[in-house]
Amino acid sequence: MKIVVGGVGLVSALGSGVDANIAAMREGRSGIAPSPSILRTGNKIPVGEVALTNDELHRRLNIPIDCHLSRTALLGISAVREAMNDARIPQGLRVGIVSATSVGGMDLTENFFREFIADESRGRLRDVRMHDCGAGTDAIARYCGIEGYRTTISTACSSAANAIMTGARLIRHGVADCVVAGGTDALSAFTLNGFKSLMILDEKPCRPFDESRAGLNLGEGAGYVVLLRGEDAADPYCTLAGYANRNDAYHQTASSADGEGAYLAMSDALAVAGIEPSQVGYINVHGTGTPNNDASEGAAMQRLFGSHIPPFSSTKGFTGHTLAAAGGIEAVFSSLAVKYGLLYPNINFKKPIDGRGPVPVCEFAEGKDIKYVLSNSFGFGGNCSSLVFAK
């Protein structure tokens, strides 16, 4: 059975909608900026923040403000609606959703605790009703008219890629005819402070695969693809040809130096797709900009591709690392890369790791003959996932 991507939807720090995101990348314009509003302190931490308040998102989506949805859910609804409209899903199909998130409704939960900590008799309980990760998925389904199977995945930064794999399996096993799959995450003080405690936030715009890389920039957003059987799609972007999830079981937050998990995920995804490494035309790497990730992922690519690493880049210099949403956002970028022959620039790159590491694409290009794209999403705990999209 051929599973295809029939529609795509996206919101990130680059803008709302696929067209706005691609236009920004074509111009080399990053969405990373200092002083996230979520901290309310003026702290100069570079992040990829969506330039819309929750109230503005409610109005744009025509959802009453008194429905009081989490930012994670609102971003997800925005991207899912675009993807479903783009796909023009045929009537009569059983439509399900597999949505990924890490923070859930943390932004609203923080509002509750700001008041509760000051006075235990205060704090609005409506601010915690969307705390659970599944609450956001339920809200997305409700406001996007999805009545079929639904579930939520949270496996750190590989979450949305795993959601897409799960969606494909649901179609293959007859649980659904069509699945909207991807992820959504919003910035929160909890997340920013947590990553700061790990000492992996960069105080400057991130520089994936550069020798001077010093950490990541967090971001927020949502990215979803609509998966269908080939015969049910009007004008598909590409085929989801292969996928794999592997774990190197090396460390709670670090990847192994030899990139074992990344290597296994990539090589097994290519095997499922039935292609050789030499057939890959572009890799959207995980590329967080941390010293550990980029060295590990680079080692895995050199192990798999040898001296012939395909054109690759990290798009996180544009969007920030959107955690559970990253694999969904980058699946959208990958689908567009296959359909339109796009190569995205790895901005802020100047010098390869140790002077001899792999060199990413640094200029936007289109109209390339790209038959296969590999998209990597690697999470904490060694949870490594790779997707293969084919023309």
* Separation between Cα atoms, residue 365 and residue 341, nearest integer Å: 8
* Separation between Cα atoms, residue 34 and residue 51, nearest integer Å: 12
pLDDT for 93-142, tens place per residue? 999 999 999 999 998 988 888 887 887 777 777 788 888 999 999 999 99
Q: Is 157 a catalytic residue?
A: yes
State the fold for domain 3-390.
Peroxisomal Thiolase; Chain A, domain 1 (3.40.47)
Secondary structure element (H or E) that encloses residue 244, with its range? strand 238-247
Please tell me which residue in 133, 144, 286, 384 is annotated as part of the active site. Answer: 286
* Separation between Cα atoms, residue 226 and residue 237, nearest integer Å: 10
Q: Tokens 């859910």 — which residue?
A: 73
Three-state DSSP class for 78?
helix
Torsion region of 109: left, alpha or beta (phi above 0 gives left; psi -120 to 50 gives alpha): alpha
Give 42's pLDDT tier (boundaries 50, 70, 90): low
Q: How many residues does the chain have?
A: 391
| DSSP secondary structure, 4-34, as one string | EEEEEEEEETTEESHHHHHHHHHHT---EES
pLDDT for 240-265, tens place per residue? 999 999 988 877 767 877 789 999 99
Q: Is 321 a catalytic residue?
A: yes
Q: 39-48, 81-90, 216-225, 299-308 — which is least confidently predicted?
A: 39-48
Measured CA to CA in angstroms, residue 104 lies from 312, 367, 372 at distances of 31, 38, 33
Please tell me which residue in 131, 144, 321, 384 is annotated as part of the active site. Answer: 321
pLDDT for 162-194, tens place per residue? 999 999 999 999 999 999 999 999 999 889 988
Q: Is 58 a catalytic residue?
A: no
Single-letter amino acid code for the residue at 301: M
Question: What's the mean per-residue pLDDT of the chain?
Answer: 94
Please tell me which residue in 144, 157, 178, 238 is annotated as part of the active site. Answer: 157
* Separation between Cα atoms, residue 56 and residue 266, nearest integer Å: 40
The pLDDT score that the predictor gives to residue 266 is 98
Closest CA to 218 of 234, 233, 200: 200
Global pTM value: 0.96
Ordered by start, the domain boundaries in the chain are 3-390
pLDDT for 327-366, tens place per residue? 999 999 999 999 999 999 999 999 999 887 899 999 999 9
